[in-house]
Amino acid sequence: MTDTAPTLPPTLPTLATIAMAREGRLLRITLNRPDALNAVNLQLHDDLAEAMWFAQVDTGSDVIVLTGAGRAFSAGGDLDHIENNARNPHLFDHETRVAKRIVSTLLDIDKPVVCRMNGHAVGLGATLALLCDVIFAAEGARIGDPHVGLGLVAGDGGAVIWAQRIGLTRAKEYLLTGDLLTAARAAEIGLINHCVPADELDARVDAFCAKLLAGAMVAIRATKILTNLELKRLATALMDAGIAYESVSVRSADHLEGIQALREKRPPNFTGR
């Protein structure tokens, strides 16, 4: 009888805007546009879908940490990229497909996904953080989904996850105003799990991941699958409509006004068109 060689885990993909590394059975995924506060442009959006798919099928990991390089987790959409879509709305159709893939894959991953929210998480950045299973945020970080401040519908996942974390009434308050919350306030109302001093963030995340990795992984994974079943049902029901509404708002005059107002650092003058 010949010995069977152990199966090697798949090679980590090389992505332009995301760094991936294994630390034992932990897979660390880092949004890696630090000079742009990890704002999501076309490349990062596409890379996110690839990274999430790899994380789902990776046989070399049991726990995933999602974080950002530099000062921010993710500042949301890259403004130049947002404006390019607004002036060429047919380009947004590609992103609708990718956005649905990112959300569905994050919800399909049966491994625990821990968010190391090292800084601000805004817009899509907030959605990414909130779709993780457990969130540790550094004091001083802020989180929010200001789609409406740019004349956009919060259709890329915000309408799915906010209400599941803090209830419908509070979710409406923050999604309809676009207001940002401090990490401390977010932890107080249950939007995130923990707000910790910045110099303790790594230790707290590492300790929690170590506890998971020492646990009964079959039971942990199956428990996550069960707790995500309702989220997946909601995402299936809401994402198509959400993306459709956001696609309409991408073509609106209010959206262009929101972009221009942000560039000029002034309040927008929305007209309802």
- The encoded tokens of residue 188 equal 């107080």
| Helices marked H in the chain | 42-57, 79-87, 92-108, 124-130, 158-166, 168-177, 183-188, 201-213, 217-250, 253-263
- The encoded tokens of residue 205 equal 């995340």
pLDDT at 84 (0 to 100):
94
- The encoded tokens of residue 255 equal 């959206």
pLDDT at 178 (0 to 100):
96
pLDDT at 41 (0 to 100):
96
Report the first-to-last Cα separation within the chain, whole angstroms: 74
* Cα 17 to Cα 63: distance, rounded to the nearest angstrom: 21
DSSP state of 113: E
* Bridge partner list, 113: 64
Of residues 193, 74, 195, the one with CA closest to residue 140: 195
- Beta strands across the sheet bearing 142-144: 121-122, 142-144, 181-182
DSSP state of 77: B
Centroid of chain to Cα 169? 22
Going by their DSSP bridges, the two strands 26-31 and 18-23 should be labelled as: antiparallel
Q: What is the set of domains in the chain, with CATH numbers?
A: 18-200+217-263 (3.90.226.10)
The owner of tokens 């309409």 is 248
pTM of the model: 0.95
Q: Is 91 helix (H, G, I), strand (E, B) or coil?
A: helix
Within the chain, which residues score under 70 in pLDDT?
1-6
